[in-house]
Every structure is written in C-alpha cells, then in structure tokens.
Amino acid sequence: MIKITVFGAGTWGIALARLLAANGRDVTVWSAIPEELKSLSVTHRHPNLPGMQLPSAMHYTADIGEACKGRDILLFAVPSPFVRATARKAAPFIPEGQLIVDVAKGIEDKTLLTMSEIIEDELRKCGRTARVVALSGPTHAEEVARDMPTLIVAASEDEDAAKAVQKVFSTPTFRVYTNTDRRGTELGGAVKNVIALAVGIAMGLGYGDNAKAALITRGNAELARLGAAMGCRAETFSGLSGMGDLIVTCTSMHSRNLHAGMLLGRGKTAEEAKAEVGQVVEGINALPAARRLARKYKVDMPIVQSVDAILSGRLAAGDALATLMGRGLKRE
C-alpha cells in the first residue's frame, strides 16, 4: 500500500487526504495544531467541508519526524505563508530523493521563489535533494471532497516523478495530466488569485459580465507575458493551470479570493475582508511578489498594479476602472 503524509489540515489538504484514502492509499495527516487533529480523528469531518466523511483508517500526527518516516509521497498542503517554516521543520527528517508534491499556491515575496523552489531550498540547506512535483489546476476543495469531476496538472522537469504522481492521484473523478513546466504551472496558480481579487472588486462595485470577462482575459494576458519573460512555456497559460485555474477562481462563489475582492469593492479594507472571509486569502499574500516580478522582468501588468493600488489605499476601488479604461489605446 502506498504511504502518503499530508502536511496541513486545511480544506485542500483534507479533501486530497480523503480522496487518496478512499482510493486505497495509507494516509497520515500532519498539523502543527493538535486540537485540529483531535477534532478530525474524533468526528471524521472538517468544519469547512460540510457533508464530507473522512475514512476511519486515516492517521493523524503532530510529530513531524514520524510524519516523514517511510513515506512514498510527502504532500505539502499548508497555506503558502507557512510552506518555508514547514519545510524547514521537516527537512532534517526527509530522506534523500524523496518524492514530494506541493499543492500550495503562491510566490515568496522576499525571494520570489515558488512553493516547490522553497521546499528544495530548505532541503538543500540540509544537504539533500528531492523530486518535487507541483500539483495545480482548477480545483475547489469543496467539489473534490464530494467526488465531483476534476482535472489537474502534475508538473515537473522530472517526467518520471510527474508520471508517478499522476498514477497515484488519478481516480475515476480526479484526472491528472502531466507537463514539464513546473515554474509556469506554479506561476499560474499564484497570479490568478490576484486577478480573482480584481474580478471580485468589479463585482463588488456592481459591474457586469462584460467587465468580468475582460478582466479574466486580459488578466491571463498579463500572466502569459510574465511567464514568457521568466522562460515558461506559452501553452501552460492556456491550459488547466493557467486559464483553467483563472476561470474557476474568478467565477465560483467557493473562491475566497473572489469573495475578498467583492468585499474590497464594497469598501472594506484588506484586513476587514480577510477577517470576514475567515480563511487564508492567497491573492493578498501573492500580490507583493507579483508586483516585484513585474518590475524585475519589466512586464506591464496594469490589472495587478491596480489591485495593488487599491489594497495599499493609493486608489479608490471606484476609480480603478477609469484608470484601466483610460490607458493608451493599443493592439490586443
């Protein structure tokens, strides 16, 4: 039986843990919060995934050394701000050549590293290497937890590693593709959250479907320009981890980033919006890095710039449309 540890007991980590356990994998969930683990082990439910029942055979531990021992796959599903700290704790216990899957979406502000690169960085400090695969795409935990049809991408330059993840994670309702553009895959997963904030702001201001479609399309153009400047493959951004993830995040009421953006459009501050959403809003975390990447690679990203101006208080949400619409006319 394939043994997997899931780091993180949030909705996405638990939805994947349930999917894997229900399909014959030996699954252990690690969390730094013992009360969280106790609740899951006793109730077999997650408070933010109503209607989902966890298999009784799942295991739970707060011992990170135990969590890393003898595992075929380590799955990082902690929120992006905690990936480095978790990787640092786990690194001394991770064997050389370990297969690791990351599903957190984000870019670290100080280093501009993706989540997979952060994991590799922490392992390198311990003198180890690993086969790290990014698993990303248009995937809401609420739907995966109910076995609704879902498609996703396992990305790594190590094609054998990506194919191994594809085989382990694929189920009749969870179809996994592979590609070799890990950086592009992770970039799409991070920047789309910022675009979703923009779409939410537009909705909060009362704008309609025309504005939503424009922001999604032009947002993807910004993402693709940045990806090209960073050496990523163009087709990545028209695929599941690019346009696919962008569409689902910008149109679904499951989306925390969309919800936060709507609150911003209605006049809430960023802190008020995060408090009302009640869960991590990854777009707010990814925004500083997206802006820095745009400057570093000299890429024009007006939608990202507008969201940054709104969150920093330099631009009122209601004035953002005029700023975007008043830009110089150009070819598409």
Contacts with 225 (C-beta within 8 Å, 6 or more apart), sequence order: 299, 300, 301
312 is in an annotated binding site: no
127 is in an annotated binding site: no
* Count of CB atoms situated within 10 Å of the CB of 39: 16
192 is in an annotated binding site: yes
251 is in an annotated binding site: no
d(CA 314, CA 308): 8
273 is in an annotated binding site: no
229 is in an annotated binding site: no
82 is in an annotated binding site: yes
Check 192, 274, 296, 298 and give the catalytic one: 192
| 192 is annotated as an active-site residue | yes
d(CA 298, CA 225): 10
105 is in an annotated binding site: yes
d(CA 88, CA 126): 9
Answer whether 258's CB lies under 8 Å from 219's CB.
Answer: no
Contacts with 251 (C-beta within 8 Å, 6 or more apart), sequence order: 199, 212, 216, 258
12 is in an annotated binding site: yes
Work out the angle between the directed axes of helices 302-311 and 209-229 (0-180°, nearest 10): 110
280 is in an annotated binding site: yes
Work out the angle between the directed axes of helices 256-265 and 182-204 (0-180°, nearest 10): 40
137 is in an annotated binding site: yes
d(CA 6, CA 198): 32
11 is in an annotated binding site: yes
Q: SS3 of 241, please?
A: helix
Residue set of the binding site for NADPH: 11-12, 105, 141, 256, 280, 282
Q: Which residues are catalytic?
A: 192
Annotated binding site for NAD(+): 8-13, 82, 141, 256
Binding site per annotation, positions for sn-glycerol 3-phosphate: 105, 137, 139, 192, 245, 255-257
The binding site comprises 8-13, 82, 105, 137, 139, 141, 192, 245, 255-257, 280, 282
